[in-house]
Structure 1
Amino acid sequence: MLRFYKKLREKLKEGQTFVLMVLVKRRGSAPRDIGAKMALFENGQTFGTIGGGKVEALALEEAKKVLETGEGRLLEYTLTAKEVSEEGMLCGGEVSVLLDLWGKDKEEMLDELVKALEKGEELWLLLGLPPSLRGCLLVTKTEAFGNLEGIETKALDLFSITRPTLLEVGGKQLYVEPVLQEPTLYLFGAGHVSQEIAPLAKKVGFKVVVVDDRAEFANKERFPTADEIIVQDFEEASRNLPLGPQSYVVIVTRGHAHDYTVLKNVLGFATRYIGMIGSKRKRDIIFDKLKGEGVSEGLLSRVRSPIGIDIGAETPEEIAISIVAELIAFKNLMP
């Protein structure tokens, strides 16, 4: 998400007006979920996707008209039986796509949005749905940027909204989306499996941080796609990293002792995911030791071990695929 908004900001600074396309409503089958985004720039370039196929093609044609007229609109589309078959879906679906024109007046808001995401701050994006409501607003815990005439944000209880949703306020429709910090994968251990996990996780949208106490393993030559490489003692690193609700921890160190150390420390953080490589026997040994030290069953139940989706993986490449598939499932499917 940070990459998407950085691209929008970059284009605005170049003087490129664009149409922001957001999938704001879905019923039945659709290629993407609510919140999927795409931008059409003045020069004809696009960035992002709302799922491809007929819906995206139609939205792009309508977006061209928005660039010409300067007036946003709400596109509502129903997939027919024939289109459903062509899209490879089992049943019909209805989607609504907001087409919102963004120009120079949104530059400050985009700046603040990117800054907040980079700092890991919480914020909410509010978009009016035409014709009943137009405009947009960016709300942080302390400030608001943009304009949505007649909407009192204090009455919306925004801070309790954790997923994209549609609201009706005084007969006007409003799309509200919590803009989440980029999901960050912390790879503890810089061995062969981590080498395969890192580029794969990066491709599917994770910021990747590699942690190991050996500089000859944790370096840019071995991990060219990693966003950050930390060469530090596992004990210190696992205690002091800024782990939070958008953090995913994968423990693949070179030995049981290091796995135990990392797991013991990261269990104290409210992370989205914790997974530890190894057999059930190894897991039970580490779990028994932690339980003997007072760690509750509830905390240990959060740990995915053996790690990854069971696909009979054997090679480092196959193991990486199974682990990243599980990360995607936790990112997209878990409440």
Structure 2
Amino acid sequence: MESELINKLLSLGEADEDAALVTVSQTMGSTPRNPGAKMLVLKDGQVYGTIGGGCGEAEVKREALGALNIKASKKYHLDMANDVAAGEGMICGGKMEVFIDFLSCGDNESRRVLLAYFASLQRKENPLLVTITSIDEEKKELLGRKMVFLPANNEAGDLGAAEITEQARIFAGQFRAAREPKLITLSTATIQKKIIKLELLFEPGIRTPQILILGGGHIARPLVKMASILGYNTTVVDDRPTFANTARFPEAGQVICDSFGNFLKSLETGDETFIVIITRGHTHDLECLRDVINQPAAYIGMIGSRRKVRGIITQLEEEGISSERLKEVYSPIGLDIGAETPEEIALSILAEIVNVWRGGKFFKEQSIVK
């Protein structure tokens, strides 16, 4: 979620301003954004974030403004293959279901839940936000009700009825580790012992790639800049003070001046970690790859010619490192776009990272050649 949207969302209560938070809850066919994409619409027509742009977004914006006028949340189905979309040149052809969540500036409960959710995200935890996106008319006052599941079995908010909240707890255990939002339909007994049909949207913590850049040379600078545009967090490590400083990398989340070996001794990684090895020489590249090869990571990429890569891989195999694990290294690094300049190489590396993160369809041949 875009930081500008989050900041605006959190300031609504202080500004005494209503808003409509649009969330893509499910999609069918080809659509510009996936479930979880958000857009904040204000009464004066200002928009923060995007659910894909074009006439489809304009149509949803009109619906959101309508929800602001009547001060009520609603679901909306967007057919992106209709005549209006075709007339605007849209070619997605799919369908989107969005939840338009009316957020009153006076709704302190919703604001408290959202604050807890975003604070947990900032701590790099894995919160799970649950919202009632559809419910029978007789309990319509619960539409938009939300709660968040936090680490250590902590919670913020509730779903307005004990039975609904308890069922959400059951599903929370299943969906906490999910990478994409989950929309479920269920029937539950209300306090009045009537069967109520409702939908719950589960949104796991918005995870972003954590890019560890080993080497602060010429490629690292544009790589950090481009990654920051995408909202990815970067850490740059180099043992030279002139190359490892915040003045050189103002967009980096962290800049560390230390030897690679010393830093990597205490490195903690996970399935959101993307390791980019672009040091100034063969010896440092070998040292870094040796130290990270058995760490859990979404991606390990190492710069270098095929000859250099072959030599490093052969040496590590002789040291007893699994050849199967070494085959997972992306090297030479980056998608093959014919890059030559540091900026182009950085672009190719980031494109490869996005491809891996999003499960794209660019598959390069194994470049580590025996």
Shared fold (TM-score, shorter chain, > 0.5): yes
Distance 2:224 2:233 in 1: 9
Distance 1:222 1:307 in 2: 23
The sequence identity of aligned pairs, in percent, is 33
Counterpart position of 1:209: 235
**Selected match of 2:146 from 136, 141, 154:** 136
Helix, strand or coil for the counterpart of 2:134? Answer: coil
Helix, strand or coil for the counterpart of 1:130? Answer: strand
CA contact (8 A) 1:21 1:98 kept: yes
Amino acid at match of 2:179: T
Gaps in structure 1 of 5+ consecutive residues: none
Q: Does 1:77 align with 2:78?
A: yes
Distance 1:208 1:249 in 2: 10
1:95-126 Cα offsets, whole Å, 9 max, x none, are 11110123432232222222211222111111
CA contact (8 A) 1:9 1:111 kept: yes
TM-score by length of 1: 0.92
Amino acid at match of 2:36: G
CA contact (8 A) 1:202 1:225 kept: yes
Helix, strand or coil for the counterpart of 1:197? Answer: helix
Matches within 5 A, 1:91-102: 92-102=93-103
CA contact (8 A) 1:13 1:107 kept: no
Once the two structures are overlaid, the 10-residue window that deviates more, 111-120 or 317-326, is 111-120
Distance 2:293 2:209 in 1: 18
Counterpart position of 1:320: 346
How many pairs does the alignment contain?
A: 334
Distance 2:331 2:109 in 1: 49
Shift of 1:42: 4.2
Amino acid at match of 2:317: K
TM-score by length of 2: 0.84
Gaps in structure 2 of 5+ consecutive residues: 137-141, 188-196, 362-370
Helix, strand or coil for the counterpart of 1:314? Answer: coil
Distance 2:11 2:359 in 1: 31
Distance 1:226 1:92 in 2: 38
Amino acid at match of 1:26: T
Counterpart position of 1:86: 88
Counterpart position of 1:158: 175
CA contact (8 A) 1:16 1:43 kept: no
Shift of 1:334: 6.1
Counterpart position of 2:321: 295
Shift of 1:211: 0.9
Counterpart position of 1:251: 277
- Alignment root-mean-square deviation, CA: 2.1
Helix, strand or coil for the counterpart of 1:241? Answer: coil
Looking at CA atoms only, which structure, 1 or 2, has the larger radius of gyration?
2
Bigger relative CO (Cα 8 Å, ≥ 6 apart): 1
